[in-house]
């Protein structure tokens, strides 16, 4: 029987260091991301942005 | 009377065929060759891959639509192109082998006046030993069938987690030259969402294994955003999401081999590592359809039409240059073959002139270079552009106006789902303009800061869901389909 491959965490730890320095969203931001009224507004804005891009790219 | 043959019925080919049929009179023939009987809305395969959507909801049969529209459909696979025809007929021709069960294996030669190659990617699982669900040891979500298998495997892992045993789930890229990082990114956050919904997230380690040099690269060299008075990057924005959701990352990796339960990879610093896993979804690198080309005498001229990657050469500047010497104008805009002006390649099928993300090599010479993504929106636009040029040439003559749409002048919207549910869902929505950075026009980041944005929230999920219904409606050619932009 072959022995299981040993786990080698160095690459994960290196990336953890980078990711660990990223900003975490505050409770307020997390709530805003789920707030139906705010998100309805964002939805309209996102669609408008995409439409603008579509029109800009067509020849 | 003209005959237009379209190879492939994916985003680019199907869009081209519908516009050709809409614009050309019935005295002209529009013929689609596609090995699958069904159309697949590939972006929603992500939801099939976590068991939130059935495969039936992302595919539908092409035959009724083509029947209704008067498009001739051959369920077959193209194998060779004869742009100068053969001894019998000087018109261009395509050799096909039928996959239609009633004619399986039968060969035919289809003549054309215009050809649109929209054969998309060949999923090149063979590039990495042990990669993929067919004879390999990892799952995929590239087709609806693959995604269904991945969902079943994920459900089994969730059952093991429920019994209290820790599990490692790896999601990412199965080779150093893969593209479509956005799809793996989406899948990893959907897996995270499912694990949370099942109440087993703390027992699971979720790892994103990627060829990207840093998070947020997405094969487009990352993006710059302006947010609340700050210039920020897709790197920081993506890292923040990874930190918040506790998804670990392995960066700059080329997967060398997948064994049962272990993935072996090399990193950019040349070190080699192994990561044992209980579940792995690793995307394959893409190749072109590997069509062969012959001249009229039957001599092989594949290199005149195709790049060594199997993708078709079009009006791009393929002269070898260093990464920093490339310019936006080097990208194609008409998608016409320089060798044969009645042949076009659109969507993933055209050969990109260079990487958008900076290519890198490990000290061992291993290339770790995300390939340029050619996502749905640009693929659809290219399909329509080639169709409109062909229509003009057929109706007004060969000197008619050539339509253009360069990826250096085209935006893309990438809505990466990060969980489903009308109230609980989330998505990272990104728009960028242009896809290929133009540093002359937009000094600094190469893209318009007004049109390049990134945001996370429920709105992105609604947008993704809306696109699912909208594009399936459009692909079914229901009334008014032509008013839905590509
Ligand atoms: C999992 C996943 C998720 C994605 N998510 C998104 C997303 O959210 N947003 C987005 O914009 N893009 C997304 N993409 C990318 C998107 O799917 C592609 O941009 C798009 O499908 C490319 O269109 P295409 O027509 O070039 O290729 P395809 O859609 O793949 O179509 C190729 C067609 O050619 C046919 N074909 C193949 N070989 C032959 C042959 N020899 N002869 C004839 N026909 C042939 C195929 O059967 C198929 O019909 C995703 C991709 C994947 C894999």
Tokens 């998608």, residue located = B335
Tokens 């498009």, residue located = B71
Q: Which two tokens stand for residue B373?
A: 């993504």
On the question of pLDDT at A57 being above 70, the answer is: no
Q: How far is A14 from chain B (nearest CA, A)?
A: 8
Q: Which residue of A has its CA nearest to B234?
A: A22
Residues 451-470 of chain B with CB under 8 A from chain A are 451, 453, 455-460, 462-463
Rounded to whole angstroms, the Cα distance separating B287 from B302 reads: 15
DSSP B313: P
Residues 334-393 of chain B with CB under 8 A from chain A are 377, 381, 385
Chosen for mutation from A6, A25, A29, A46 (greatest number of chain B CBs closer than 10 Å) is A46
Q: What is residue A1's predicted lDDT score, i.e. its pLDDT?
A: 44
Chosen for mutation from B411, B412, B453, B484 (greatest number of chain A CBs closer than 10 Å) is B411
Q: In this structure, are residues B139 and B133 in contact, taking their beta carbons and an 8 Å threshold?
A: yes
Q: How far is A26 from chain B (nearest CA, A)?
A: 10
Q: Which two tokens stand for residue B244?
A: 């918040």
Q: What is residue B109's predicted lDDT score, i.e. its pLDDT?
A: 98
Strands B122-123 and B167-173: unpaired
Q: In this structure, are residues B212 and B405 in contact, taking their beta carbons and an 8 Å threshold?
A: no
Q: Which two tokens stand for residue A39?
A: 């998100």
Rounded to whole angstroms, the Cα distance separating B449 from B190 reads: 29
From the CA of B83, how far away is ligand 1's center (Å)?
Answer: 24
**3-state class of A19 per DSSP?**
helix
Residues of B in contact with A49 (CB under 8 A): 431, 451, 453
Question: Which residue has a Cα nearest atom 20 of ligand 1?
Answer: B376
Residue among B151, B142, B144 at smallest CA distance from B173: B142
- Is B7 a pocket residue for ligand 1 (Cβ < 6 Å)? yes
- CB contacts < 8 A, A to B, total 121
Whether A48 and chain B come into contact, CB under 8 Å, resolves to no
CB contact burial B204-231 (16+ within 10 A = b; e otherwise):
bbbbbbbbbbbbbbbbbbbbbbeeeeee
Q: What is residue A58's predicted lDDT score, i.e. its pLDDT?
A: 58
Residue among B11, B12, B68 at smallest CA distance from B43: B11
- Is B312 a pocket residue for ligand 1 (Cβ < 6 Å)? no
From the CA of B414, how far away is ligand 1's center (Å)?
Answer: 15
Q: How far is CA B456 from CA A31, B242, B326, B406, B418, in A?
A: 12, 12, 32, 28, 9
Check A49 against B431: CB less than 8 A apart. yes
Mapping DSSP onto H, E and C, the string for B152-189 reads: HHHHHHHHHHHCCCCEEEEEEECCCCCCCHHHHHHHHH
Quick: pLDDT tens for B118-147.
Answer: 999 999 999 999 999 999 999 999 999 999
Whether B244 and chain A come into contact, CB under 8 Å, resolves to yes
Residue among B221, B236, B185, B275 at smallest CA distance from A20: B236
Strands B292-293 and B76-82: parallel
Supply angle C-alpha B179, B339, B71, rounded to 5. 70
- Is B376 a pocket residue for ligand 1 (Cβ < 6 Å)? yes
Q: Is A3 exposed, middle or buried (0-12, 13-18, 19+ CB in 10 A)?
A: exposed
Rounded to whole angstroms, the Cα distance separating B312 from B337 reads: 8
Residues 416-435 of chain B with CB under 8 A from chain A are 423-424, 426, 429, 431, 433-434
Q: What is residue B412's predicted lDDT score, i.e. its pLDDT?
A: 87
Check A59 against B433: CB less than 8 A apart. no
Check A59 against B404: CB less than 8 A apart. yes
Q: In this structure, are residues B405 and B333 in contact, taking their beta carbons and an 8 Å threshold?
A: yes
CA B347 to chain centre: 8
Strands B59-61 and B279-283: unpaired
Q: How far is B458 from chain A (nearest CA, A)?
A: 6
Whether B267 and chain A come into contact, CB under 8 Å, resolves to yes
- Is B379 a pocket residue for ligand 1 (Cβ < 6 Å)? yes
Q: In this structure, are residues B413 and B430 in contact, taking their beta carbons and an 8 Å threshold?
A: yes
Q: Which two tokens stand for residue B28?
A: 């002209």
Rounded to whole angstroms, the Cα distance separating B171 from B152 reads: 15
pTM above 0.90, yes or no: yes
Q: What is the ipTM of this complex?
A: 0.89
Which segments of chain B have a pLDDT < 50? Answer: none
Q: Map out the domains of chain A as residue ranges.
A: 24-57
Check B239 against A10: CB less than 8 A apart. no
- Is B6 a pocket residue for ligand 1 (Cβ < 6 Å)? no
Atom nearest to B141 CA in ligand 1: 1
Quick: pLDDT tens for B418-459.
Answer: 878 888 888 888 889 999 999 999 998 899 998 898 889 999
Q: How confident is the model at residue A8 (pLDDT cuts 50, 70, 90)?
A: confident
Least confidently predicted of A7-21, A43-57, B54-68, B451-465: A43-57
Rounded to whole angstroms, the Cα distance separating B36 from B476 reads: 16
Residue among B38, B37, B13 at smallest CA distance from B104: B37
Angle, nearest 10°, between helix axes B11-23 and B376-396?
30
Check A22 against B405: CB less than 8 A apart. no
Among the partner residues A8, A42, A53, nearest to B433 by beta-carbon distance: A53
Q: What is residue B416's predicted lDDT score, i.e. its pLDDT?
A: 82
Residues of A in contact with B244 (CB under 8 A): 24-25
- Is B348 a pocket residue for ligand 1 (Cβ < 6 Å)? yes
Q: How many CB atoms lie within 10 A of CB A17?
A: 9
Q: How far is A21 from chain B (nearest CA, A)?
A: 8
Adjacent-strand bridge partners of B412: B432
Residues of B in contact with A8 (CB under 8 A): 273-275
**3-state class of B6 per DSSP?**
strand
Q: How far is CA B150 from CA B45, B133, B154, B183, B302, in A?
A: 10, 9, 6, 14, 36
For chain B, which domains are there? Answer: 3-123+289-408 (3.50.50.100), 125-285+409-483 (3.50.50.100)
Tell me whether the omega of the peptide bond preceding residue B188 falls within 30 degrees of 0, making it cis: no
Percent of chain A whose predicted confidence (pLDDT) is above 70: 86
Instruction: Give the containing element (helix H, strand E) for B238.
Output: helix B234-245
Q: How far is B382 from chain A (nearest CA, A)?
A: 10
Alpha helices in B7-53 (DSSP H): 11-23, 45-48
Q: Which residue of B has its CA nearest to A42?
A: B459
Pocket of ligand 1, candidates B5, B6, B13: which has the most ligand atoms within 8 Å of its Cβ, to mutate? B13
- Is B119 a pocket residue for ligand 1 (Cβ < 6 Å)? yes
**Angular region, B331: left φ>0, alpha ψ -120 to 50, beta rest:** beta
- Is B49 a pocket residue for ligand 1 (Cβ < 6 Å)? no
Q: What is the dihedral of CA B354, B357, B361, B366, to 10 degrees?
A: -80
**3-state class of B193 per DSSP?**
helix
Tell me whether the omega of the peptide bond preceding residue B434 falls within 30 degrees of 0, making it cis: yes
């Amino acid at each position: 029987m072959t022995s299981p491959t040993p786990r080698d965490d160095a690459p994960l730890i290196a990336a953890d260091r980078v990711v660990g320095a990223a900003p975490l969203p505050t409770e307020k931001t997390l709530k805003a991301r789920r707030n139906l009224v705010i998100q309805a507004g964002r939805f309209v804005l996102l669609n408008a942005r995409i439409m603008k891009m579509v029109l800009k790219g067509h020849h | 009377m003209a005959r237009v043959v379209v190879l492939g019925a994916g985003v680019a080919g199907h869009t081209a065929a519908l516009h050709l049929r809409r614009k050309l009179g019935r005295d002209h023939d529009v013929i689609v060759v596609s090995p699958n009987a069904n159309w697949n809305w590939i972006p929603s395969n992500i939801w099939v891959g976590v068991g939130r959507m059935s495969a039936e909801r992302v595919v539908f049969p092409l035959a009724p639509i083509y029947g209704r529209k008067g498009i001739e459909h051959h369920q077959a696979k193209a194998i060779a192109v004869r742009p100068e025809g053969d001894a019998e007929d000087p018109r261009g021709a395509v050799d096909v082998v039928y996959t239609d069960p009633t004619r399986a294996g039968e060969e035919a030669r289809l003549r054309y006046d215009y050809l649109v190659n929209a054969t998309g990617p060949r999923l090149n699982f063979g590039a990495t030993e042990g990669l993929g669900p067919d004879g390999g040891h990892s799952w995929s979500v590239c087709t609806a069938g693959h995604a269904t298998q991945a969902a079943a495997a994920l459900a089994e892992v969730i059952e093991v987690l429920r019994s209290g045993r820790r599990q490692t789930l790896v999601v990412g890229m199965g080779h150093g030259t893969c593209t479509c990082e956005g799809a793996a990114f989406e899948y990893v956050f959907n897996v995270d969402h499912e694990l949370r919904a099942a109440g087993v997230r703390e027992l699971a380690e979720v790892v994103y294994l990627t060829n990207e040099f840093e998070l947020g690269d997405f094969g487009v060299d990352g993006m710059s955003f302006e947010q609340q008075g700050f210039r920020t990057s897709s790197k920081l924005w993506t890292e923040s999401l990874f930190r918040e959701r506790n998804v670990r990352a392995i960066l700059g990796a080329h997967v060398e081999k997948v064994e049962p339960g272990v993935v072996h990879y090399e990193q950019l610093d040349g070190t080699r590592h192994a990561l044992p896993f209980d579940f792995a979804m690793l995307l394959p690198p893409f190749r072109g359809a590997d069509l062969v080309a012959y001249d009229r005498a039957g001599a092989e001229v594949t290199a005149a039409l195709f790049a060594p990657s199997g993708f078709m050469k079009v009006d791009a500047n393929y002269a070898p240059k260093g990464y920093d010497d490339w310019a936006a104008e080097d990208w194609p805009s008409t998608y016409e073959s320089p060798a044969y002006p009645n042949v076009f390649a659109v969507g993933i099928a055209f050969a990109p002139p260079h990487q958008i993300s900076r290519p890198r090599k490990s000290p061992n010479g291993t290339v770790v270079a995300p390939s340029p993504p050619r996502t749905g929106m640009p693929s659809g636009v290219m399909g329509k552009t080639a169709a409109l040029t062909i229509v003009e040439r057929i109706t007004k003559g060969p000197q008619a106006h050539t339509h253009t749409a360069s990826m250096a002048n085209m935006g893309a919207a990438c809505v990466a789902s990060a969980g489903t549910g009308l109230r609980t869902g989330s998505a990272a929505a990104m728009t960028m303009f242009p896809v290929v950075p133009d540093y002359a026009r937009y000094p600094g980041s190469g893209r318009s800061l007004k049109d390049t944005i990134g945001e996370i929230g429920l709105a992105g999920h609604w947008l993704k869901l809306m696109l699912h219904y909208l594009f399936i409606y459009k692909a079914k050619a229901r009334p008014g389909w032509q008013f839905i932009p590509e």
